[in-house]
């Protein structure tokens, strides 16, 4: 009986031990599961905080206390391409997100992008890679990454501003639902406008979408660091894609093999003539066609235009005939290669006849390259304009016949590259001289002398940017003459106003 009781007691003890072990294992398993869930929740929360509060370790940004934040990183590349040194990432508390939709052609959008980077830096917000205009006259479907090297754009200014390719998922959802704050900022605004008016909106809504970006930042009166950053983006961060760069180099090489070349930005395309109402030299049918086109676009506000008056005021692009006379009067060598940086010239061969007779070595990218090389650029006007931009920068002489955005931005870029020869035509004076010469009141020698004298100080030489208080539209455009970025180049020169 005693033995039986003892055995029974031992059995109960054994069962109790097994129960305790089982419970311990269950507790351990529960602790492990709970810990894993908590760690996962923490990881998710930290990721969200990383998107909300700015750069953090989880997003690849160095900690505020990390010595790595002051070091430079080197991007590894193939042996044929030298390694690129990246600037350190800037650490700051993120005030929100800025989305921008650029409007206009390539160079109008280019300058706007530079402005938006500077504004994002000043407001301590994260910039989303800009959206390019797809609804303008050209209807170019190109995305940012189709024209510019997007990774270079992001990394080259990462010590100034954080740029993302897209919004974080939770904010992206709001965009899809159409619940973000969208607006067009006031044109020619001082940087303080963005601090006082736009920043509070970003803090309130977390993300603000600026749907028009052309000429939104004033030319003058901005802090020096803002002006310097605008230049840094324009001349460094906005690099074209490798495909565009490679094709541009090929065009330049082909031209160089034949000797010096001039780029003529002949802005005598149908859209420009319809928009400006300039019809000098056009026949009746062409005038009617251009007028119909102008009325077809509601955002072209001016409909009834006096072409003769506008031409006399110097507000029309020079015609091909006027351009030929001007180049001859300036003693441009008739044998020089003339690269036409433009779209299809309105009036075709009929309007180009005088220019071709005076300068027979006319070339275009379409005549230098095989059709297969341009196939992927067809119907993408901004990518075609990017090719012309690269060739324009490298030319021996650059001559724009109208002061549009490409003419202005190329002018400024050539100043930055060492004041390369850029002939800035005085159109108002030129058309008067041309009319006098064609009317017989000026001999050729008199006409040529007058044209030369009028352009002595209009060759892209150092000059102070014109400032007109309370009339920013009439000032010299920042991107045509970014003086703040050219100080070392012109400080020893004599500065004067045109």
* Same-domain pairing of 338 and 386: yes
Torsion of CA 27, 30, 31, 36, to 10 degrees: 160
**Overall average pLDDT of the 57-77 stretch:** 39
Which residues partner with 100 through β-bridges?
210
State residue 3's pLDDT score.
42
* Same-domain pairing of 416 and 277: yes
* Same-domain pairing of 225 and 345: no
Q: Smallest Cα–Cα separation from 216: which of 96, 97, 118, 148?
A: 118
Q: What is the DSSP letter of 89?
A: P
Q: What is the DSSP letter of 214?
A: T
Report whether 318 contacts 430 (CB < 8 A). Answer: yes
- 187 vs 299, higher pLDDT: 187
Which residues partner with 210 through β-bridges?
100, 183
* Same-domain pairing of 316 and 400: yes
- 77 vs 156, higher pLDDT: 156
Confirm whether 378 is domain-assigned: yes
* Same-domain pairing of 300 and 336: yes
Tokens of 213: 């970006």
**Overall average pLDDT of the 381-403 stretch:** 97
In this prediction, what percent of the chain has a pLDDT beyond 90?
74
Q: pLDDT at residue 108 above 80? A: yes
* Same-domain pairing of 215 and 268: no
Cα 98-148-403 angle, rounded to 5 deg: 90
216, 237, 258 - which closes a domain: 237
* Same-domain pairing of 232 and 252: no
H or E element that contains 9: helix 2-53
| 132-166: pLDDT as tens digits | 998 877 678 999 999 999 999 999 999 999 999 99
Confirm whether 82 is domain-assigned: no
State residue 135's pLDDT score.
80
Confirm whether 342 is domain-assigned: yes
CATH number reported for the structural domain that contains residue 214 in this entry: 3.40.50.11340
Q: Smallest Cα–Cα separation from 392: which of 365, 410, 417?
A: 410
Confirm whether 68 is domain-assigned: no
Report whether 280 contacts 307 (CB < 8 A). Answer: yes
Confirm whether 265 is domain-assigned: yes
* Same-domain pairing of 263 and 371: yes
Tokens of 426: 């005085």
State residue 216's pLDDT score.
94
Tokens of 417: 């590259």
CA distances from 38 to 41, 44, 51 (A): 5, 10, 20
221, 237, 253 - which closes a domain: 237
State residue 51's pLDDT score.
42
Query: Phi, psi (5° rounding) for residue 128?
Result: -90, 140
**Overall average pLDDT of the 380-398 stretch:** 96
Confirm whether 60 is domain-assigned: no
Instruction: Give how many domains the chain has, as a whole number.
Output: 2
CA distances from 470 to 199, 218, 219, 484 (A): 24, 11, 12, 21
Q: pLDDT at residue 314 above 50? A: yes
* Same-domain pairing of 310 and 251: yes
Tokens of 34: 């709970």
Confirm whether 197 is domain-assigned: yes
* Same-domain pairing of 296 and 166: no
237, 267, 299 - which closes a domain: 237
Confirm whether 467 is domain-assigned: yes
* Same-domain pairing of 197 and 254: no
Query: Over the chain, what is the mean pLDDT?
Result: 86
State residue 175's pLDDT score.
86
* Same-domain pairing of 105 and 217: yes
Spell out a b/e string for 427-439, using b for 16 or more CB atoms within 10 Å of the CB, else e: beebbbbbeebee
Report whether 486 contacts 416 (CB < 8 A). Answer: yes
Torsion of CA 452, 453, 454, 457, to 10 degrees: 100
State residue 297's pLDDT score.
86
What residues make up the domain containing 175? Answer: 97-237
């Amino acid at each position: 009986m005693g033995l039986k009781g003892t055995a029974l007691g031992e059995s109960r003890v054994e069962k109790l031990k097994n129960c305790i072990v089982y419970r311990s294992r269950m507790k351990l398993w529960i602790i492990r599961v709970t810990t894993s869930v908590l760690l996962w929740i923490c990881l998710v929360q930290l990721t969200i905080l990383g998107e909300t509060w700015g750069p953090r370790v989880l997003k690849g940004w160095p900690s505020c206390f990390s010595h790595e934040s002051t070091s430079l990183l080197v991007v590894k590349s193939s042996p044929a391409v030298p390694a690129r040194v990246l600037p350190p990432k800037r650490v700051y508390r993120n005030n929100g997100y800025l989305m921008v939709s650029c409007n206009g052609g390539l160079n109008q959008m280019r300058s706007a992008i530079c402005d938006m980077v500077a504004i994002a830096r000043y407001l301590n917000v994260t910039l989303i890679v800009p959206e390019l205009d797809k609804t303008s006259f050209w209807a170019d479907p190109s995305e940012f990454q189709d024209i510019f090297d997007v990774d270079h754009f992001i990394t080259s200014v990462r010590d100034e501003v954080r740029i993302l390719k897209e919004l974080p998922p939770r904010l992206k959802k709001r965009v899809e639902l159409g619940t973000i704050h969208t607006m067009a900022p006031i044109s020619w605004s001082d940087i303080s406008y963005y601090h006082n008016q736009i920043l509070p909106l970003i803090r309130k809504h977390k993300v603000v979408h600026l749907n028009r970006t052309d000429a939104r930042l004033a030319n003058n009166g901005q802090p020096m660091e803002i002006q310097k950053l605008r230049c840094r983006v324009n001349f460094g961060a906005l690099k074209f894609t490798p495909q565009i760069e490679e094709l541009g180099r090929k065009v330049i090489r082909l031209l160089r093999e034949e000797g010096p070349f001039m780029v003529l930005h002949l802005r005598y395309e149908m859209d420009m003539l319809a928009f400006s109402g300039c019809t000098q030299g056009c026949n009746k049918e062409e005038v009617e066609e251009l007028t119909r086109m102008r009325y077809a676009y509601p955002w072209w506000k001016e409909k009834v235009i006096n072409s003769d008056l506008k031409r006399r005021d110097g507000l029309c692009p020079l015609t091909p005939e006027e351009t030929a006379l001007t180049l001859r009067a300036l003693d441009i060598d008739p044998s020089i290669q003339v690269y036409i940086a433009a779209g299809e010239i309105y009036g075709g061969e009929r309007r180009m006849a005088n220019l071709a007779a005076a300068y027979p070595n006319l070339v275009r990218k379409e005549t230098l390259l095989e059709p297969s090389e341009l196939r992927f650029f067809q119907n993408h006007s901004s990518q075609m304009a990017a090719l012309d931009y690269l060739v324009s920068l490298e030319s021996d002489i650059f001559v724009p016949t109208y002061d549009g955005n490409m003419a202005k931005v190329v002018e400024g870029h050539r100043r930055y590259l060492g004041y390369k020869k850029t002939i800035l035509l005085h159109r108002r004076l030129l058309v008067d001289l041309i009319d006098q010469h064609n009317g017989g009141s000026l001999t050729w020698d008199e006409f040529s002398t007058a044209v030369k004298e009028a352009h002595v100080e209009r060759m892209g030489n150092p000059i102070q940017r014109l400032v007109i208080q309370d009339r920013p539209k009439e000032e010299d455009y920042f991107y045509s003459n970014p003086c703040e970025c050219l100080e070392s180049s012109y400080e020893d020169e004599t500065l004067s106003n045109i």
